[in-house]
């Protein structure tokens, strides 16, 4: 393995994080908070280490799938480790493991918190929490690929390892260009969202922080009541934008490229919207009478549904009080997640579609054993490797899910809490059900469980395999 280029990439990632750390420092400057110096100091340290690393160019520029996986997973671990330091040093979270949980939760766009009272945090800490969502949403290495000629033409390996979905493709021939387009759409939509939130009467700090958090489909709130105290208009805007950020970015690219028809007929998007509408309909019917009137019901239900299916995790009401059928639907939505190629987590709608098609295929094979049949997705025939990828992903997902569930059950909480806590972390949702529902948080768990959940969040964000590659002894064998 080419260690020198991995070291080089990690140093660049650090330098990048240094740049990002300047943003909360700037926030601190605006609000006159002393915590800003810690951010500034950390930024300088990151620049220094990153700068030194950048000076020594890698000996070889070989960069292949293995290096891609390893550098992406390591980058995320380093990002999280460093991202936790401000919380720790400012004393906002006195325990480093808790700080790490918060930071991983931020970068993986989970939004699960160990804090009982977030309102006591300084503004810059609050902003850093939300801002990590934005970086994690589209991916830091994709951003680097957009700006730097990092690993030459081999950047695709980085992007494949970091981006979500069963098959990662390029929009345009060049990886750098693809990454720039993705980030262009992402930034544009974020800015637009912030402007709309401002117009809806939100305070500027809240608008920016909630804006970046929503864009990354993260879910860290600024208030203990999450998003409940914002105006109805703001909530509706958030609902719409959460759904928009949950749609495959290819759709927007096609839309801007003038292929409106193709964009509208995007298969995954249509299934995604059908699921959303069905869920809203069913829950509205089931929760009839919980809210004052029909309009409020629709508005509240669609906010929760959008928030859960896009794995953002904001809440405007405690759905833990809803009937169990509604909670069941929300749980299923947690697992499904939104579209591939978006900023959300979960299994992804496209994998669910492929899985259903495979089941249909298998049934048909049983009836006509000699039948030859292909699975199509987005009107293209799906290669066998993608089938296999989806199957193995689901198995690995299930295995990690059950194992994590078993380990955290040691802490002795009830079944619903444990089962949904793993779902909430592995799918990057944030709040679960029971004690970790919208009104609770993850501080109840012990250190071992927190470590497991940290692993789940990272594994969920990177779609399991990059992390497994990192853990496999095979990866580190000499001479391979």
Check if the beta carbon of residue 312 is closer than 8 Å to that of residue 127. no
368 binds other proteins (CB under 8 A): no
Stretch that binds other proteins, among 167-175, 204-212, 357-365, 471-479 (CB under 8 A): 471-479
56 binds other proteins (CB under 8 A): no
Q: Tell me the sheet residues that pair with 380.
A: 377
Give the chain's end-to-end CA distance (angstroms, integer): 7
57 binds other proteins (CB under 8 A): no
Stretch that binds other proteins, among 63-71, 130-138, 219-227, 286-294 (CB under 8 A): 63-71
Tell me how far, at minimum, the Cβ of 200 lies from other proteins, in Å: 51
Tell me how far, at minimum, the Cβ of 371 lies from other proteins, in Å: 23
Which of residues 173, 258, 473, 479 is near other proteins by CB under 8 A? 479
Sign of CA dihedral 412, 81, 117, 92: positive
How crowded is residue 220: how many other Cβ atoms within 10 Å of its Cβ?
31
Element (H, E) at 380: strand 380-381
| Binding string, residues 154-193; x marks residues near other proteins by CB under 8 A | ----------------------------------------
| Binding string, residues 93-122; x marks residues near other proteins by CB under 8 A | ------------------------------
The token pair that represents 123 in the structure block: 């503004």
Contacting other proteins within 258-297 (CB under 8 A): none
Nearer to other proteins, 289 or 479 (CB): 479
Tell me how far, at minimum, the Cβ of 203 lies from other proteins, in Å: 52
Q: Of 305, 189, 295, 299, nearest to 235 (Cα)? A: 299
Which of residues 7, 54, 66, 174 is near other proteins by CB under 8 A? 66
Alpha helices in 291-446 (DSSP H): 294-309, 324-336, 349-367, 384-409, 415-426
2 binds other proteins (CB under 8 A): yes
Q: Of 428, 412, 438, nearest to 327 (Cα)? A: 438
Nearer to other proteins, 368 or 480 (CB): 480
Which of residues 57, 261, 368, 477 is near other proteins by CB under 8 A? 477
64 binds other proteins (CB under 8 A): yes
Which of residues 30, 34, 65, 223 is near other proteins by CB under 8 A? 65
Which of residues 57, 60, 261, 379 is near other proteins by CB under 8 A? 60
Exposed (0-12), middle (13-18) or buried (19+): which is 163, by Cβ within 10 Å?
Answer: buried
DSSP string, 465-479: HHHHHHH-GGGG-TT
Exposed (0-12), middle (13-18) or buried (19+): which is 474, by Cβ within 10 Å?
Answer: exposed
The token pair that represents 223 in the structure block: 């208030």
Residues of the shown chain interacting with other proteins in the complex, contacts defined by CB under 8 A? 1-2, 60, 62, 64-66, 477-480
């Amino acid at each position: 393995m080419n260690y020198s280029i991995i070291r080089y990439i990690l140093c660049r990632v650090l330098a990048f994080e240094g740049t990002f750390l300047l943003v909360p420092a700037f926030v601190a400057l605006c609000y006159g908070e002393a915590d800003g110096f810690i951010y500034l100091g950390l930024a300088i340290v990151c620049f220094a280490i990153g700068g030194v690393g950048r000076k020594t160019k890698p000996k070889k520029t070989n960069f292949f799938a293995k290096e891609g996986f390893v550098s992406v997973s390591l980058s995320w671990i380093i990002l999280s480790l460093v991202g936790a330091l401000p919380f720790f040093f400012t004393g906002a979270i006195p325990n480093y493991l808790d700080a790490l949980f918060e930071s991983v939760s931020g970068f993986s766009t989970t939004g699960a918190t160990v804090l009982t009272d977030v309102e006591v945090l300084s503004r810059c800490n609050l902003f850093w929490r939300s801002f990590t969502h934005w970086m994690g949403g589209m991916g830091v290495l994709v951003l680097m690929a957009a700006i730097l000629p990092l690993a030459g033409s081999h950047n695709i390996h980085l992007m494949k390892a970091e981006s979500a979905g069963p098959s990662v493709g390029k929009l345009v021939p060049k990886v750098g260009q693809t990454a720039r387009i993705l980030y262009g759409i992402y930034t544009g939509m974020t800015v637009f969202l912030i402007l709309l939130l401002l117009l809806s009467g939100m305070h500027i700090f809240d608008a920016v922080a909630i804006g970046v958090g929503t864009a990354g489909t993260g879910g860290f709130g600024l208030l203990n009541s999450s998003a409940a105290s914002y105006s109805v208009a703001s909530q509706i805007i958030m609902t719409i934008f959460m759904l928009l950020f949950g749609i495959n970015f290819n759709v927007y690219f096609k839309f801007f490229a003038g292929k409106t028809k193709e964009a509208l007929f995007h298969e995954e998007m249509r299934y995604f919207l059908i699921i959303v509408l069905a869920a809203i309909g069913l829950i509205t019917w089931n929760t009839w009478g919980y809210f004052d009137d029909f309009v409020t019901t629709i508005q509240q239900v669609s906010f929760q549904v959008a928030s859960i299916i896009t794995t953002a995790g904001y809440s405007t009401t405690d759905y833990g009080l809803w009937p169990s059928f509604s909670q069941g639907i929300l749980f299923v939505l947690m697992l499904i997640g939104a579209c591939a190629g978006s900023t959300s987590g979960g299994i992804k709608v496209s994998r669910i579609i492929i899985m259903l098609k495979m089941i249909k295929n298998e049934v048909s094979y049983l009836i006509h054993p000699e039948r030859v049949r292909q699975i199509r997705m987005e009107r293209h025939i799906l290669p066998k490797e993608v089938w296999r990828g989806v199957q193995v992903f689901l198995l690995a997902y299930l295995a990690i899910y059950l194992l994590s569930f078993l380990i955290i059950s040691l802490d002795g909480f009830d079944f619903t809490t444990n089962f949904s806590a793993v779902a909430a972390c592995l799918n990057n949702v944030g709040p679960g059900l029971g004690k970790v529902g919208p009104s609770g948080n993850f501080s109840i768990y012990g250190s071992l469980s927190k470590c497991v959940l940290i692993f789940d969040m990272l594994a969920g964000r990177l779609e399991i395999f990059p992390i497994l590659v990192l853990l496999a002894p095979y990866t580190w064998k000499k001479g391979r």
